[in-house]
Amino acid sequence: MGVGTQFHESFITTKIDSAVNWARKFSLFTYPFVTACCGIEYMSVACSHYDIARFGAEIPRFSPRQADLLLVVGTVNHKISPILRTVYEQMSEPKWVVAFGACASSGGFYQNYAVVQGIDRIIPVDTYIAGCPPRPEAVLDAIVELQNRIQDKGPSGVRGAINPLHEEEAKRLSKINPEQTKEKLLLSRS
């Protein structure tokens, strides 16, 4: 936590950023954007056997204005991508995004014109979880990894993204219409 010197038994000094980041990492309010079969694995993470509550991410918030962690769980089609973008923009700062499963991370085995080949084309992503479907242990590992990043670096001020590479991506995405994708452009030429 970045604890400095200890004066007496009742005083401990630290940096305010370190204390705030410590509080943030254990109070993640999740917004599950569930669109496909990975939702079952997401539900199992919240059950008593794995218990995501141990990591401070227990209660899902179904209003983006009350959430700071967006879990994109499952396949995202081009038709739903503007809705995902709107949900992301409605979330308060700081905010983080986790791509849950192969379909959210890379389009999965759907290599066609209807599926977005990775949600990082729509919104910046902080953590990717591999697998189809991912194991609950992988989800917990991703939450712990995100918590470590939040503690070490905190929000970077770039739309909640921790990775500095997302700054360029956020600028690029702000100029592109979410419906205008490479796949649509290829289809429109024929």
What domain count does the chain have? 1
Q: Encode pLDDT of 63-106 as tens digits.
A: 888 888 899 998 999 899 899 999 999 998 888 899 998 888 88
Does some domain include residue 17?
A: no
Domain range for 93 is 29-189
- The CATH number for 101's domain is 3.40.50.12280
C-alpha dihedral, 24 to 26 to 29 to 32, nearest 10°: 120
Q: Encode pLDDT of 100-155 as tens digits.
A: 988 888 888 888 888 888 898 889 998 999 888 888 888 899 999 988 988 887 76
Does some domain include residue 14?
A: no
Query: How many Cα neighbours within 13 Å face the side chain of 33?
Result: 28
